[in-house]
Chains A and B, each alone.
Chain A
Amino acid sequence: MKEYYRGIESLKEQLVFFKSSTIKPAFGERVFVKWKGKEVPGRVIEINEKLTLIEILGDSSGISRDALVRFTGQMFTVPVSEEMVGKSFNAYGEELKTGRKFIGREVEVYRKPINPFFREYPKEPIVTGFSAIDGLNVLVKGQKLPIFAVSGVETEDLVINLVNSIQTEKTLTVLGIIGLKNEIVDYLLKRISGNTIIFVAKASDPPAAQVLLPRTTLTVAEFFAFEKGVDVVVVLFDMTNYCDSLRQISSKREEIPGRKGYPAYMYSDLASIYERAGLIKGKKGSLTMIPVLTMPDDDITHPIPDLTGYITEGQLVLDRKLHKQNVKPPIDILLSLSRLMNDAVGPFHRRFASQLYSAYAKFKTVEKLASIIGECELGEVERKYLEFGRRFLREFINQKEGERRSLEKTFRIGLELLSLLPESELTQLKKEDLKRLKR
């Protein structure tokens, strides 16, 4: 039987202060708030003797103190089912097309931490078809590798290409769309198809729904990864919107802010999302995560990319300059890193990446120098670096629309480019690698 209670003391946008005299709600409990014929989910975010603070996770327009509250005695859940593949949902697991709640087993969305002893260390690469990733910043099954985007670059195209390229018969991709504009959501929904599940909280959806969305997405992804043994890649796009929603809610709750107004607990909060990636001992599947976030003002030291960088295992950083030079994807490899790569690839691959990195770093120094003293003043070797670097961007990083490169091809292009440099410069490669280059 559903029991509704009256007793709202005050309201503040998404927050309901409920007088808890007879009812004893639990911290974190799921509730429903009903007014004018609609029922919207909410969550208990603080309790004390007199008041229960409820956060409404839906549209709160039109709500008044007459609204009724139903307590469920349960934590927040989302339905999971194998039938979800190929479909799109909102943050509560309601199908976008029909608006109806999907039927499946209900699973709690806030999960307990994975026991580090039950984690399996990631060591198997996922081929994405991009040289900048597969050759230099390998994505590993169970890794969390974020993309740090910049405004003005069509990150959605990269996301579409990545999702469509990673998604195979054996790999399921799950895309969580957080706080994006309507037109971009439509653009994404149209171009991503097949073996993908999509969850959407648009820019116009309430902040609480945007904060819930990554957890919904991950709960469904965990079901496939750890119960069904599937290799799942989750893309969360865009985590900056998530953090902004979190800040908005935190400020409404009158919490003491940390850096730039973001809540002081944002590190722990982001960790509870990102740490859901991984491999679990004795289970076949894997959960790999690619959170995408747009760096405010292109600033990598902003709290959002900064805290993310400390939890995730590396990062791929996009660059507007490269974008304007028409390099696609515009990945700035000097700022990018895959922490788990070393254990997941062979020794040749490690040396290959390390050599390309050194050479490209040298190119960047030479390029800067050339812009000061002029190209003619450069030494012979320096000029070779200049040629190497320019062709590296054009031929190695840049890829044609929809091109999916094999690892062999990535190696071939890289080695060819390195052969532009004198052998004495290739200190990271071994003799046998140089032979491979001559072959």
Chain B
Amino acid sequence: MGRIVKVSGPVVEVEIEKGEKPFLFKVARVGNLSLTGEVVSIAKGRATVQVYERTEGLKVGERVSFDGKMLSIILGPGILGKILDGLGRVLPFSGERIERGRGRRFFPEGEFEFKAKVNAGEWVKEGQILGFVELKGFNYKILSPVAAEVKEIKSGRVSPKEPVARVGNREVFVFEERAVRIPSSFKNRVEVKEPLLTGQRIIDFLFPIAKGGSASIPGGFGTGKTVLQQTLAKWCNADVIVYIGCGERGNEMTEILKEFPKLKDPYTGRSLMERTVLIANTSDMPVSARESSIYLGITVAEYFKDMGYSVAVMADSTSRWAEAMREISGRMGELPIEEGFPASLSSKIASIYERAGAFLRGSVTIIGAVSPPGGDFSEPVTRHTKRFTGAFWALDRELASSRFYPAVNPFNSYSRYAQFIKDWWNRLGDYESLRNWMVETLQEGERLEKLVKLLGRESLPEDQKLKYEEFNLIKEAFLRQNAFDPVDCYSSPKKQILMAEVLRKVSNWWHKVFKKRGIPVDKIVSQPVISKVLKMKMEVDEEHLEEFEELKREIAEVYEEFLR
């Protein structure tokens, strides 16, 4: 127990009673309203508590109790499809306003059919699967917390309150409790080799992310971070998706809450929500809960990873999280370093992205949006994020303001995963050489675009003009992708390869015709078949991929005519 001696915003100082020994990150219940908080610093006889709810109305002298645990979350069957706040309380709370000191943490409800996979008397390893609980088409695997002998286990109906097994001297339930700030173990890490497919061509084909990798999406406001994050959440082929709305706009969160339950999982045809956990913390919800929401989300992801699933975490936005950290450290009077951020900024960012990884069983992929102040990529959060993530999808204001989406700038973006996943792609077609061709053309295009901006397209010599047109064709026909068009919103890897093949075909013909006949570039590129190429992304759907062959034939016919 303790009592309040000082209140300043979300930071409360507590005088600790004799005999009480709170430790760092211990959960505290503060004041008569019993607000939830966390111990963030301890001195002799004093503790500082960061409170997760608004502190208005607290008085000096009110009681503070320390309930003995670190901030933790209960994980178990039924957590998929749930929406939690930054503290792991289940939304919706009743009532149109969020009241303080209320809300219940997640706990599995009802009875479950447990199917044992091992027998009593067997020795199991830590993390080994003891059995399953199936719920809404999803297999929740119940893992052994220790390496020991299975003393008791049996299949059948259980309530969450009774153990399903006894391993060594531990009782195992259908649920487990995990502290959110402690990473699950990093044992059994393996090299990433499979792409996390998103259906977004500029990502999958040019700047891919691997299952178990990490990526950041930096972009000033209005460049389409949130739309991209939501698109990725909708289409990526992970088994489980954890979407963290960290300090985001209320209306946007509402859109997600409304949209997601309606969305169909493109892979199973069931509701997307059945394999999603949403963590909702809008910008006007308390700042401390915003800080914890990212840890909470990653803990949920690790729970499913340990079962062997591939999990994708989308965090929007990590800058809001860093800002929460800055706000709290400021309240505690910590000496700030650059731009007011605490000195621990980079290690905190690292600690998040380092929880991504591919493992013998399961993977956690983390995609974090970053909102650099003023769109300045050299600011601390973006800079440190760059250090600890493998793919970088830079959003560009100029592309966004001409409504070119996704506004991923192909020149500033990169991915270190391309080399790891190329074998996977090469089985579908000539990925490596198509990608190299595209990357080179884009590179050359960037140089030419600078010239065009200065001197005009007309000033380019004919052969350069042709290259410039090739660059524009790739941009328009391939990189630009409409998230609102029913056909264009998602491209399978096969379709991406076929589209790239069509484009390379066009490019080959253009160069051939130009070299052999010297026909003016404007004439070569303005053939009606090109407008078909520009529209192929919307007009050829996944069911009719053979139409690309037809298109290739048509292209050949048109340009053979020139050579006759």
Question: Is the A/B pair a real complex?
Answer: yes
Which residues of A are in contact with B by a Cβ distance under 8 Å?
20, 24-29, 46-49, 75, 110-122, 142-143, 255-259, 263-265, 267-268, 271-272, 274-276, 278, 280-281, 299-303, 306-307, 309-315, 334-335, 337, 339-340, 342-343, 350, 354, 357-358, 361-362, 365, 368-369, 372-373, 377-379, 382, 424, 427-428
CA distance A121 to B256 in the complex (A): 10
Is the pair B327, A268 in contact by a Cβ cutoff of 8 Å?
yes
Contact partner, A110, options B56, B98, B371, B454, Cβ 8 Å:
B56
CA distance A25 to B57 in the complex (A): 8
Chain A's closest residue to B339 (CB) is: A259
Count residues of chain B with CB under 8 A from any CB of chain A: 77
Contact partner, A379, options B58, B98, B373, B457, Cβ 8 Å:
B457
Contact partner, B97, options A115, A301, A306, A307, Cβ 8 Å:
A115
Is the pair B61, A301 in contact by a Cβ cutoff of 8 Å?
no
Contact partner, A281, options B96, B98, B285, B484, Cβ 8 Å:
B96
Provide the residues of chain B in CB contact with A368, threshold 8 Å.
453
Q: Given A47-B59, A49-B5, A115-B93: A267 and B327 within 8 A (CB)? A: yes
- Indicate whether B169 reaches chain A with its CB closer than 8 angstroms: no
Provide the residues of chain B in CB contact with A268, threshold 8 Å.
283-284, 287, 324, 327
Smallest Cβ distance from B337 to chain A, in angstroms? 12
- Indicate whether B382 reaches chain A with its CB closer than 8 angstroms: no
Is the pair B454, A120 in contact by a Cβ cutoff of 8 Å?
no
Provide the residues of chain A in CB contact with B99, threshold 8 Å.
112
Provide the residues of chain B in CB contact with A312, threshold 8 Å.
249
Q: Given A26-B56, A309-B222: A114 and B6 within 8 A (CB)? A: no
Is the pair A24, B59 in contact by a Cβ cutoff of 8 Å?
yes
Contact partner, B340, options A120, A258, A339, A378, Cβ 8 Å:
A258
What are 12 A-B pairs with beta-carbon distances under 8 A?
Answer: A28-B55, A114-B96, A258-B327, A264-B336, A272-B284, A275-B282, A280-B96, A306-B374, A354-B403, A373-B459, A379-B457, A424-B531
CA distance A302 to B375 in the complex (A): 11
Chain B's closest residue to A342 (CB) is: B484
Is the pair B458, A377 in contact by a Cβ cutoff of 8 Å?
yes
Smallest Cβ distance from B459 to chain A, in angstroms? 7
Provide the residues of chain A in CB contact with B458, threshold 8 Å.
377-379
Smallest Cβ distance from B271 to chain A, in angstroms? 18
Q: Given A267-B320, A301-B373, A369-B456: A361 and B401 within 8 A (CB)? A: yes
Smallest Cβ distance from A244 to chain B, in angstroms? 18
Chain A's closest residue to B455 (CB) is: A373
Question: Of the 9-residue stretches B7-15, B159-167, B292-300, B549-557, which lies at the interface with chain A?
Answer: B7-15
Smallest Cβ distance from B298 to chain A, in angstroms? 21
- Indicate whether B388 reaches chain A with its CB closer than 8 angstroms: no
CA distance A256 to B526 in the complex (A): 61
Chain B's closest residue to A280 (CB) is: B96
For B60, B324, B326, which residue has the most chain A Cβ atoms within 10 angstroms? B60
Provide the residues of chain B in CB contact with A354, threshold 8 Å.
403
Q: Given A47-B60, A264-B326: A315 and B222 within 8 A (CB)? A: yes
Smallest Cβ distance from B331 to chain A, in angstroms? 8
- Indicate whether B436 reaches chain A with its CB closer than 8 angstroms: no
CA distance A385 to B59 in the complex (A): 66
Smallest Cβ distance from A66 to chain B, in angstroms? 25
CA distance A372 to B457 in the complex (A): 13
Q: List which B311-343 residues lie within 8 A (CB) of chain A.
A: 320, 323-324, 326-327, 330-331, 333-336, 339-340
Provide the residues of chain B in CB contact with A259, threshold 8 Å.
339-340, 373
Is the pair B6, A47 in contact by a Cβ cutoff of 8 Å?
yes
- Indicate whether B516 reaches chain A with its CB closer than 8 angstroms: no
Q: Given A256-B336, A265-B331, A268-B327, 17 other A-B contacts at CB below 8 A?
A: A29-B57, A46-B7, A48-B60, A75-B57, A112-B100, A113-B250, A114-B282, A116-B257, A119-B250, A268-B284, A268-B324, A275-B249, A275-B283, A306-B221, A311-B249, A313-B251, A372-B455
The 7 closest A-B pairs by CB, nearest first: A301-B374, A28-B56, A361-B402, A117-B92, A271-B283, A275-B284, A309-B221
Q: Is chain A's binding surface mostly helix, strand, loop or mixed?
A: mixed
CA distance A382 to B457 in the complex (A): 10
Provide the residues of chain B in CB contact with A264, threshold 8 Å.
323, 326-327, 330, 336, 340
Is the pair B60, A114 in contact by a Cβ cutoff of 8 Å?
no
Contact partner, B258, options A20, A121, A256, Cβ 8 Å:
A121
- Indicate whether B497 reaches chain A with its CB closer than 8 angstroms: no
- Indicate whether B423 reaches chain A with its CB closer than 8 angstroms: no
Smallest Cβ distance from B278 to chain A, in angstroms? 10
Provide the residues of chain B in CB contact with A428, threshold 8 Å.
403
Contact partner, A340, options B251, B257, B282, B339, Cβ 8 Å:
B251
Chain B 242-263: CB-based contact to A (< 8 A → 1; otherwise 0):
0000010111111101100000
Q: List which B373-406 residues lie within 8 A (CB) of chain A.
A: 373-376, 401-403
Chain B's closest residue to A347 (CB) is: B484
CA distance A92 to B236 in the complex (A): 52
Provide the residues of chain A in CB contact with B376, threshold 8 Å.
301
- Indicate whether B499 reaches chain A with its CB closer than 8 angstroms: no
Chain B's closest residue to A270 (CB) is: B283
CA distance A428 to B252 in the complex (A): 26
Contact partner, B339, options A28, A258, A343, A365, Cβ 8 Å:
A258
Provide the residues of chain B in CB contact with A26, threshold 8 Å.
56-59
Chain A's closest residue to B332 (CB) is: A256
Is the pair A119, B456 in contact by a Cβ cutoff of 8 Å?
no
